[in-house]
Homo-oligomer: A and B are copies of this chain.
Amino acid sequence: MAVNQITATALVQQLGGELRGDDVLITNITSLQQAQLNDISFLSNPRLRHEAQTSRAGVLIVSEKSADILSGRTLIVTDDPYLYFARVARLFHPRQLSQAGIHPTASIAPSAQIATSCEIGAHVVIGERTIIKDNTRILAGTVIEEDCIVGQDCLIHANVTIYLGCQLGDRVELHSGCVIGADGFGLAWDKQNNQWFKIPQTGSVILGNDVEIGANTTIDRGAIENTIIEDDAKIDNQVMIGHNGKIGAHVAIVACTGIAGSTEVGAHSVIGGAAMIGGHLTIPPKTTIGAATAVSHSIKESGHYASIFPLQKHNDWVKNAVHIRHLHEMNQKIKELEQQLAQLTSHLSNPQD
The interface of chain A, by Cβ under 8 A from chain B, is 29-31, 34, 80, 82-83, 85-87, 89-90, 92-93, 103, 105, 107, 121-123, 125, 139-141, 143, 145, 157-159, 161, 163, 175-177, 179, 182-183, 185-191, 194-200, 202, 210, 212, 214-216, 218, 220, 224-225, 232, 234, 236-238, 240, 242, 250, 252, 254-256, 258, 260, 273-274, 276, 278, 288, 290-297, 299, 303-328, 330-331, 333-334, 337-338, 340-341, 344-345, 348
Contacts and interface: CB of A to CB of B under 8 A. Distances in A.
Given A250-B196, A255-B258, A327-B320, A80 B176 contact: no
A288 to B, nearest CB: 8
Nearest to A105: B107
A18 to B, nearest CB: 17
B252 A196 contact: yes
B294 A311 contact: yes
A329 B124 CA distance: 60
Contact of A177 (B186, B216, B338): B216
Given A182-B214, A196-B234, A306-B312, A141 B157 contact: no
A145 B142 CA distance: 14
A212 B105 CA distance: 31
Given A139-B143, A161-B215, A323-B330, 9 more contacts: A34-B224, A80-B191, A86-B186, A93-B202, A143-B176, A185-B234, A185-B236, A303-B313, A305-B312
Given A141-B143, A143-B139, A324-B327, A185 B255 contact: yes
A245 B29 CA distance: 20
A324 B310 contact: yes
A28 to B, nearest CB: 10
B158 A161 contact: yes
Contacts of A326: 320, 331
B324 A188 contact: no
Contact of A159 (B87, B161, B185, B254): B161
B338 A341 contact: no
